[in-house]
Chains A and B, each alone.
Chain A
């Protein structure tokens, strides 16, 4: 029985760390998709963020520089997608997927001499009082600075999307380009900005992964987290607050898997490794009808799932 509590407690503590990087990527993809575009390249943007954030930190010794380098790397990569899908009308899914491989190639090349480097990385900051809440406190409030900005970003994005002029323009473009154009907006500029910001946020997530979580760089280290984020946006029904739930669900699955391995559960570790992916597919299947209704109109051509 004590084992069960140990596993549950550990899962909770372990959920936040791996969840943060996915959360940033989910925010990024959410902004992109709200503007009516889908970017499968955010897996590549995350790799760019993880790689260039790490390289910049090793070279300059400053984590802050690393974080910004990661954001720039992720954002720059996604601009390729913005150009191709908006000005050359290429297929978004194929372009995005190619972008991921492209990013994997760039980072494998650029990062190969940094594989054995070590960095101090981001240090956890304890929030007084809040971190002393039993069980939850240390899990949520003894994290690095990027975790706290991620907590804040959810409500902030929610407010921004629903209550600011910029957010409303973004959503309008996602619903109908021609209507947004008629209303005096420049839909393509808004979409390019949304794709770039989305890529930068994914890059930030990647940087959080290498600087805050693993403190190392290895080739392909995001192992599908960007694609998970694409799934989570659908599960989240394009709402930043539900995105937080989804990302911590993914983090929780990773936490649970690590805990089960620690207590020596009699299952192959590879079966446990499957858990996060299977859980994402499972929750997408559970809430699929509701998400289909919430989908921005501009995505319906690409992300249809009805026959």
Chain B
């Protein structure tokens, strides 16, 4: 267990700079980049050139920055989808699948419900996306409650089922008849599309993670329910004895988490793709899960970790495009960053 810094201060232990979590995290990130740089050198590329291209392509231009923002939208939402259940001690590895189901539900509304204005259409799609993701996560919590099936396994396996579920529709009933045989749905009408912000690919789906972060932060730190969630996550038995309805907290945390991942799916189809197709996500939900763990499930720190992952992922695309490195190599870097952040965390062995 990590001893809080304040406790050490009270004990009179000197606090050095490297005891601060943010400093340790930055050291860890630097360490991961160095290890990956060595890897780049081993495979015969120039690490300085690769990193220069990567940062120039992401942070050095308006296009690059907006692309980082575009990626951060689903990352932040799926990271919250992992972090809110984590508060009550649940592990939701199903963000990817919940995202797909959310995208599917939002597409269903876009294709088959006819609202005249964008002001009705987009909220309806967002609601459907949230509901889709929440229901999908609900299966996991139901299996856990009624059948003692651990949510890690059920959410992991349900990702594969969700991807196939979307395929059933895009290869079947929802396939665009004028799509030259490609497995896409028809393109969305203009009412179902999240408008772009100022000539970039960035779109108004951006409000979702912004509201999500602020609401989660305020809820967790300023309300009684937020404190109760922490109690449930820390010791469910003690929480129950204090009269906290533990089960209700578990269910709501999981459903809200799934719903947020579903919103990420809605924002992807409505803001970026403008139709549903197989492979819309390509591991966005898994990245969100990692971002949440890197941030120790802290909603504010999630902004930073999602930014970092977005820079790496977009940088990977830049490097792939310029022929420096295949983008698959970026998964290695992301893995290294997480290992190193987890490994750099201070801990004291439990004294039993």
Contact = CB atoms under 8 A, between A and B. Distances in A.
A224 B162 CA distance: 13
A285 B147 contact: yes
A90 interface: yes
B329 A109 contact: yes
Contact of B153 (A89, A284, A306, A307): A284
Contacts of A88: 342-343, 345, 347
Interface residues of A, number: 51
Interface string B307-348: 000000000000000000010111111111011001101010
Contacts of A285: 143, 147, 149
Tell which of B152, B333, B345 has the most Cβ of chain A within 10 Å.
B152
Interface of A: 40, 80, 84, 88-91, 93-95, 97-99, 101-102, 104-106, 108-109, 112, 178, 219, 223-224, 227-228, 230-231, 234, 268, 270-271, 273-274, 277-278, 280-281, 284-286, 288-289, 291-292, 303-307
B342 A305 contact: no
A277 B144 contact: no
B335 A94 contact: no
B268 interface: no
A18 to B, nearest CB: 15
Contacts of B335: 98-99, 101-102, 105
19 contacts: A88-B345, A94-B342, A97-B289, A101-B286, A101-B331, A104-B331, A105-B332, A108-B331, A228-B157, A270-B168, A271-B164, A274-B161, A277-B158, A277-B161, A281-B149, A285-B143, A285-B147, A305-B149, A307-B247
Interface of B: 91, 93, 143-145, 147-154, 156-161, 164-165, 167-168, 171-172, 236, 246-247, 250, 283, 286, 289-290, 293, 326, 328-336, 338-339, 342-343, 345, 347, 349, 352
Contact of B171 (A95, A223, A234, A268): A268
Contacts of B347: 88-89
Contacts of B246: 307
Contact of A109 (B154, B159, B164, B332): B332
- Identify the interface centre among B93, B143, B171, B339: most chain A CB within 10 Å of its CB: B339
